[in-house]
Amino acid sequence: MHDQANEMLKTDAGAMPRDGAGGIVSVWGDRLMSSSLTVRTLFCAALLVLVAALDTSTGSEISFSIFYLVPVSFAGAYISRRAGVILAVASAAVWGYLEFTTGRGYSAAWIPYWNTAVRLGFFLLVNELIERLRRAHATQRALAREDSLTGIANARVFEEYAQRTLLASRRNGRPFTLAYVDLDRFKHVNDEFGHSEGDKLLRVVATLIADGVRSTDVVARLGGDEFGILMPDTEAEPARMTLDRIAVALHDAVGTRWAVGATVGAVTFTRSPKDVDSAVHQADELMYRGKAQGRGRIIHETWPAEIDGSSSS
């Protein structure tokens, strides 16, 4: 997958609403994740020290077994799987030491060691479950932000990054370019060769577009045979050069094999538009103008001032 796609698919902290106790935990978890590795390590160590101190002060009659899971869980969830293992060993060792030194009698000398080994196994099991849950959650969030067919970003991610780019442009006064790409005669491919061939075509197009832009640009499938390209900090001339290069690549790769072309509507915004919807609408309108003029064209304008003109690619 293209580098920009990997960046886009990262989970945005704070994107989900939080309510009640679970929300408080999520907020603190986000804060902990945003802190440095040193802070997170010290926090987990402090939790273990706190649990050990409470366990010592309450004596052997009150069990603190579940509380030793707290530093283990935090280490596994917010540092790494290895950190969780280290905290599991440390927690089991501390608990075993305190139990051994409290003077509690056992029928055999090996029993405290056995108990410590069982607790260690329990802590390690919990740490492994946390690791698998963390990976499954990350995979699920990533899949929710990518197009399942092509592997590039989906429309939701494109809108998010377009909104960020618009706000950044409003702050720093830098231009950006937004392009809307629609394949010509795509329905003919599905009708004549089947949907599996159409899917293959879409994957090839997505790869070609993604390979033709910078790592800081965003490429997304907006739906059907429509793709979006977002180029932050990009003026009209370099944007047009990029679009021309992509058009040539598409023509060479899919024009002959599938007899499919592409019509592109693009706008370079020298001033921030009102909102994302209006920016996409302008690019969409130019794309339809290109369709009306005979397809296989790039219609590129600069907003709000001059018009770059249009050409056939």
Find the catalytic residue in 225, 233, 275, 308. Answer: 225
Q: What is the pLDDT of residue 305?
A: 63
Q: What's the CATH class of domain 155-312?
A: alpha beta
Phi first, then psi, for residue 39 (nearest 5°) are -65, -45
DSSP letters, 112-175, are HHHHHHHHHHHHHHHHHHHHHHHHHHHHHHHHTTB-TTTSSB-HHHHHHHHHHHHHHHHHH---
pLDDT class of 13 with cuts at 50, 70, 90: very low
104, pLDDT greater than 70: no
- Comparing 307 with 194, the larger pLDDT belongs to 194
User: What's the pLDDT tens digit per position in 205-261?
Assistant: 999 999 999 999 999 999 999 999 999 999 999 999 999 999 999 999 998 889 999
User: What's the pLDDT tens digit per position in 129-170?
Assistant: 999 988 888 777 766 788 989 999 999 999 999 999 999 999
Confirm whether 225 is a catalytic residue: yes
Q: How is the chain split into domains, by residue range?
A: 35-143, 155-312
User: What's the pLDDT tens digit per position in 63-81?
Assistant: 777 889 999 999 998 899 9
